Amino acid sequence: MIENENKKENCSVFFSGGIDSVSTLVSVIDKKPLLITIWGTDVWDYNTEGWSSLKKLAEEYSEKLNLKNLFIKTNFRKFIYEHVLTEKLLKGVIDDSWWRGIQHGIGLLGHVAPYAYKYNITTHYIPATLNVKSQKGTTCGSCPEIDETVKYADCKIVHEGYDKTRIEKAAHIVRYFKDKGQAMKLRVCYMDKGDKLNCCECEKCFLSMMEILSEKVNLKDWGFDVDEKTLKNIPKFLKKHSNPSPINKEIWADIVEKFKQDEKYWKKQKAVKWVLKYNPYKK
């Protein structure tokens, strides 16, 4: 392994604006991490409007938290044919895609190597996609057993947040910024909606909205431009369009459990009281 002569310890973290990445950022904020945002992962390299809004969000975080940004543009998901690899190599081997099941962690971490050397980064944090509970029985190309074996330029990798569920991460984020008297927008959506941070029409948005709302905050302050009608209509979407994955079912179950902890309060919230009776495991 190549070692840097400069032994000053710097750190960095992947930042996408989602619940996983913001929770990790909050967890290591005292270390003043460099925020690394990659254009070409969930925002495709042709989506200039989407990238512009994500870049602006990353800069807002760095400005308010007194941090620095590093932006990387990449075609690492396009110079190979993911769908072909999924079909030809993985079918019958693992029930997952090439991106999520194989490329995810290592593909992202490879981008950090030259900058780890240049900026004397000794620790890089990659936010956990899953957790100890949800990892069971699933495959994911980003997990502690894989990510934390990667080392370069005197830099170690930490797969951060593996001990927290999504609902716990949401609480972690909201409580941190509440203590600072702030609210920060999140970008959780993979739908291509131009410069909108979140479409507020897909299951990923709905899950994240409910996780954040469980902390009894105004969703508009956190990047979700929704009204009561949108919240009331979520059950119709779930019934008509959604076939939750085992992981999403687990996330919904955590949301229901969190709402039930203050059932008296949520029964009075007409737009979302349906959550108390929602059963994600019922067909």
- Is residue 173 a part of any domain in this protein? no
The domain boundary, picked from 160, 187, 208, lies at 160
Question: Are residues 52 and 187 in contact, defined by beta-carbon separation less than 8 angstroms?
Answer: no
The domain containing residue 49 runs over which residues? 10-160
pLDDT of residue 253 exceeding 70? yes
The CATH number of the domain holding residue 58 is 3.40.50.620
User: Does 41 share its domain with 143?
Assistant: yes
Between vectors from CA 7 to CA 4 and to CA 12, what angle results, nearest 5°?
80
Same domain for 39 and 125, yes or no, is yes
CA distances from 20 to 126, 162, 171, 223 (A): 9, 10, 12, 15
- How many domains in the chain? 2
For 30, 55, 111, 174, the CA distances from 70, given in Å and listed in that order, are 18, 10, 11, 25
User: Closest by alpha carbon to 42, among 135, 121, 107?
Assistant: 107
- 234 shares its domain with 152: no
Instruction: Say what the pLDDT of residue 1 is.
Output: 52
Domain match, 20 and 156 both = yes
Q: Are residues 102 and 225 part of one domain?
A: no
Write the pLDDT tens digit of every residue in 140-167.
778 888 899 999 989 999 999 999 999 9
134 pLDDT higher than 90: no
Whether residue 142 sits in one domain with residue 209: no
Q: Which of 144, 160, 176 is the last residue of a domain?
A: 160
Let me know whether 142 and 75 are in one domain: yes
pTM: 0.91
